[in-house]
Structure 1
Amino acid sequence: MAPLIALVAGFAVARLAGLLGIGALDAWQPALRVGLAVMFVVTASAHFVPKLRADLVAMVPPGLPRPELLVTVTGVLELAGAVGLLIPATAPWAAVALALLMVAMFPANVSAARRGVPFGGRPATPLVPRTIEQIFLVALAVAAALP
């Protein structure tokens, strides 16, 4: 839920800034990129907070090697993508890369849902809501990449 709140709040603040004439945020797409960047900073931070990191490591499908390294790498990629979204020249590429990253990480979400892996002290999210949220976020990243 925190990632969606961060996304909506980031988008809303960016749109408000745009409406007030601050920066180049006077259109929905730059504001969407800001919202996505805020969301990815929030999700990436979980990769480095000890308790949440342990939950993410537990989400990695059992057959994959070095789950700790995978969690670190995906956290760094999310942070790099968030920065890329804020640079106009790299924003479309960053958005595509983040969409692909979310697709690549989706099997971990499926595995976690099927194994009932909790996150952040909350019960595991069932597969259907997880899938719907993932489709929504990938679609937003694709929209952020459009010319």
Structure 2
Amino acid sequence: MEPLIALVAGTLGARLAGLLGVAALDGWQPALRVGLALMFLLTAFAHFYPRLRADLVEMVPPSLPRPELLVTVTGVLEAVGAIGVLIPATTRWAAAGLILLMIAMFPANVSAARRRVAHGNSLLRRTALQVLFVGAAVAVLP
């Protein structure tokens, strides 16, 4: 739920800043880029915070090798993508990369739901959030 809150609060806060005169945030698309960046910085942080990292490692399907390394790599990619969506010259590539990353990581959500690990969130909830997050990334494509 925290990533959704970061996405919504970040977007609304950035949009309010735009309405108050911050020219770079004057519009929903740039505000959404800020919300998306905040969301991915939050999720990237989770990849390295010990208690949250353990949950993410547990989510990796057992058939995949080196779950610790996979969690580290995806965390770095999320952080790079978050920064990239804020830079106009790289927004398109960063958003596309984040979309592909979310699609590639979705099997971990399915596996976690089926094995009831990492808070045991239902597959329906995990799928709905992923669809929303992918939709947000698509919406920031210039």
With normalisation by structure 2, the TM-score equals 0.98
* Alignment partners' CA distance in 2, 1:46 and 1:93: 23
Q: How does 1:64-75 map to 2 (within 5 A)?
A: 64-75=64-75
Give the deviation of 1:45 after TM superposition: 0.5
Please tell me the root mean square deviation across aligned C-alpha atoms, in Å: 0.8
Q: How does 1:111-122 map to 2 (within 5 A)?
A: 111-118=111-118
> What is the match of residue 24 of structure 1?
24
One-letter identity of the residue aligned with 2:18: G
One-letter identity of the residue aligned with 1:141: A
One-letter identity of the residue aligned with 2:45: S
Give the deviation of 1:23 after TM superposition: 3.6
Give the deviation of 1:139 after TM superposition: 1.0
The unaligned stretches of length 5 or more in structure 2 are none
Q: Where do 4+ consecutive residues of structure 1 move more than 2 Å?
A: none
The unaligned stretches of length 5 or more in structure 1 are none
1:24 match: secondary structure: helix
Write out per-residue CA displacement over residues 65-94 of structure 1, whole angstroms, 9 at most, x where no aligned residue. 100000000000000000001101101111
1:42 match: secondary structure: helix
Write out per-residue CA displacement over residues 19-56 of structure 1, whole angstroms, 9 at most, x where no aligned residue. 11114111111100000000000011000000110110
> How many residues in Structure 1 have an aligned counterpart in Structure 2?
142
With normalisation by structure 1, the TM-score equals 0.94
> What is the match of residue 47 of structure 1?
47
* Alignment partners' CA distance in 2, 1:95 and 1:110: 23
Q: Which has the higher helix share?
A: 2
Give the deviation of 1:100 after TM superposition: 0.8
> What is the match of residue 135 of structure 2?
139
> What is the match of residue 104 of structure 2?
104
